[in-house]
Amino acid sequence: MVEIRISGRGGQGAVLASQILAAALFENGLQVQSFPSFGAERRGAPVSAFLRADPEEITLRCGILHADWIVLFEADLLDNPVIMAGATPSTSVVLNMPRPPEKFDRSRFQRIFFVDASGIAERLRLRTTSFSIVNTAMVGAFACASGLVDMGSIARAVQALVPVKREENARAAEEACEQVREMVA
């Protein structure tokens, strides 16, 4: 079973990102389960969404205790202990940042990927009045970083689930897939 945690700030669309990924993984023949963090939602506050995927039926009903993957819409959430709960050295991360982090403890994670999702979203004018909407870009980056899901499925899930600017969002996922890079030692 693969367990994934997607974190951003309230309003950035982390929950939708997990649903897009769930739909794409489901189309790839996997059983999936996606859910938001519990509680009243507030714009701007750190939020998480969760995803499980497995070839077998998933019956587990509890929070994700160990994340195989953590996808962060804002790299500064790396320092948030609540968001990073469940991260271990066997966890891999996908970060929204234009270049690899400097002075970074490489041993914290198994693999580290980065992508300038904000830049992609800005260029495609995917934004609200206060921040850029990076969820579809981050989904694309995750897909290509992890190799767990193909981009065709992602594109179809974006078309099916994103309520506005479907073309731009599909483009964002595609561009992020091409641009995502792994940080090398």
Partner 1 sequence: MKTLMTGNEAAAMGARMSRPQVIAAYPITPQTSIAEKLAGYTARKEIEARYIKVESETSAMAACIGGSLSGARVFTATSSQGLALMHELLHWAAGARLPVVLVNVNRSMAAPWSLGVDHNDTLSQRDTGCLQIYCETAQEVLDTVPMAYALAEKALLPVLICMDGFLLSHYTEPVDLPNQEDVDRFLPRRRADYRMDPNRPFTFGGGVSAEVLYGLRRRMQQDMDAAPALWEKINRRFRKIFARSLPAVETHGMEGSDLALVTNGTMAGTVKAYLRDRGAEKGVGLVKMRFFRPFPTESLRKVLEGCRAAVVVDRDLSPGGGGIFAQEVRAALHGTGPGIPVVSVIGGLGGVDVTPDHLDRLVTDLRSRRELPFETLWMEV
Residues that bind partner 1 (CB under 8 A): 18-19, 22-23, 26, 31-36, 38-40, 58-63, 65
**CB of residue 119 to partner 1, shortest distance in Å:** 30
**Whose Cβ is closer to partner 1: residue 45's or residue 60's?**
60
Burial of 95-110, coded b for 16+ CB within 10 Å and e otherwise, reads bbbeeeeeeeeeeebe
**CB of residue 167 to partner 1, shortest distance in Å:** 23
**Whose Cβ is closer to partner 1: residue 32's or residue 126's?**
32
**Whose Cβ is closer to partner 1: residue 53's or residue 87's?**
53
Q: What are phi and psi of 178, to 5 degrees?
A: -70, -35
**Whose Cβ is closer to partner 1: residue 65's or residue 184's?**
65
**CB of residue 121 to partner 1, shortest distance in Å:** 24
**CB of residue 36 to partner 1, shortest distance in Å:** 6
**CB of residue 32 to partner 1, shortest distance in Å:** 7
**Whose Cβ is closer to partner 1: residue 86's or residue 101's?**
86
**Hey, which residues does 35 pair with through a beta bridge?**
50
